Amino acid sequence: MRPRRKLRSRTTTPGATRIEPPPALPEQWWARGERVAPWQVEVRHRVADVSAQVGGLPPARRAAVERHLAAARRAAMRPFPRRQWWNGTSIETAWNATHLAQAGLPLVVDGSALRRQLVDARRRASMRLAKGDPLRMAVEDVPLGQRVDQGHATPEDRQTIAAALQASLELADDEHRSLRDWRNRLLRVSLIAFLVLAITVAAGALRPELVPLCSPASAGPVLCPGGGSVAAAGDTGTVAFLGALGGALAAVVAMRRANPGSSPYRITPALSLVRVPLGGLTAVIGVLLVQSGEVPGVALDTASQLAVFALLFGFSQELVTRLLESRARVVQDATKGRASSSATDLAAAG
């Protein structure tokens, strides 16, 4: 048998000895080797923080907070519902339950801990609520802060702090859902673009005359994307492939503008999925327009020129996707408050 480790003792005063218990083991949430997403880790830290704040309270006072924490724990652990990646059922259930537990803290903590709740409510209100919002004005009231500092907070003061905190957290949840909706819209657009591109390539392969990508005979020797003088089944696919490469290049360049975040709903990959098929479509349309002779002063005389133009047309889809990106960034930046507030909470807890 393994020998039992002796408890360390530290002498505090002559003749007095204090026995230190061994450090408590962390609560086990997931099995070893189980795949854990960043949002699950963040929920776990937030739940641990709230649980520590109510741990010393009587069971009757902390019962409501503990119920919300238990719901957050269950939602952050597998098995997850089907289509979890699409509708975010477990993610938003875990965050909503955690936020409800946080909003209930001002109602149950002792007077000595109420100052922290007031600071948190004021910080979140300044990030989420408008300047003229009644809840923000009430929680920023100077006499309220004085009563909290002096330990004379009334039940109405606690209700005000809890209401401002809950309103701010609810707005954060709404912004998070808006980010998920935008990501799903971008995924739908990318799927539609892929289908349209696939239909175009298939039509060009079955009936090359439907997508005339060869230069007109009146302009000199006929040049087709495949390098021949006669339209072939692979012409449309060749142009679409080069355009998709241009779109992929635009996606790589756009990575420099990406802002890291803790949200499980990633906007940058969804935008990249939009750029690639749109690049193929714009390349086919652009080469089709140039080869028709409707663009004065522009002629594709060699296969290398045609390939370069296809790449450029594929890259030019950035004019369209940049508008989508700008709107998506606005929604994404609005959710940054959750990550920053989480970091502040963890720092305060430490």
Q: Where are the domains of the chain?
A: 38-179+337-349, 184-335
Q: Of 145-159, 168-182, 237-251, where does mean pLDDT reach its minimum? A: 168-182
Instruction: Say which residues have a Cβ less than 8 Å from residue 223's Cβ, sequence separation at least 6.
Output: 214, 215, 229, 300, 301, 302, 303, 306
Q: What is the mean pLDDT of residues 158-176?
A: 92
**What is the C-alpha separation between 38 and 210, in angstroms, rounded?**
49
Predicted local distance difference test score (pLDDT) of residue 27: 57
Determine the number of helices (DSSP H) and then strands (DSSP E) in the chain: 13, 2
Mean pLDDT computed over every residue of the chain: 82
pLDDT score of 170 more than 80: yes
In contact, 284 and 318? CB cutoff 8 Å: no
How sure is the predictor about 88, in pLDDT bands with cuts at 50, 70 and 90?
Answer: confident
Q: What is the pLDDT of residue 16?
A: 47
Q: Please report, rounded to a whole number, the percentage of residues in the chain having pLDDT higher than 70.
A: 83
Q: How confident is the model at residue 274 (pLDDT cuts 50, 70, 90)?
A: very high
pLDDT for position 8: 45
Please, where are the H alpha helices in 233-317?
A: 235-254, 267-291, 303-315
Residue 151 CA, chain-centre distance (Å), reads 40
Q: Please name the residues in contact with 6: beta carbons below 8 A apart, sequence gap of 6 or more.
A: none
**With bands split at pLDDT 50, 70 and 90, how would you rate the model's confidence at 219?**
low
List pLDDT tens digits, range 183-214.
899 999 999 999 999 999 999 999 888 888 88
Query: What's residue 335's pLDDT?
Result: 63
Whole-model pTM over 0.95:
no
Q: Which is more confidently placed, 166 or 228?
A: 166
- Helix, coil or strand: residue 55: coil
151 against 300, higher pLDDT: 151
Condensed to tens digits (0 to 9), the pLDDT of residues 302-340 reads: 788 888 889 999 999 888 888 888 777 777 666 654 444
Q: According to the per-residue pLDDT averaged within each range, which of 142-151, 296-305, 324-333 is highest?
A: 142-151
Which of the two residues, 343 and 225, has the higher pLDDT score?
A: 225
**Residues 6 or more apart whose Cβ sits within 8 Å of residue 303:** 223, 225, 227
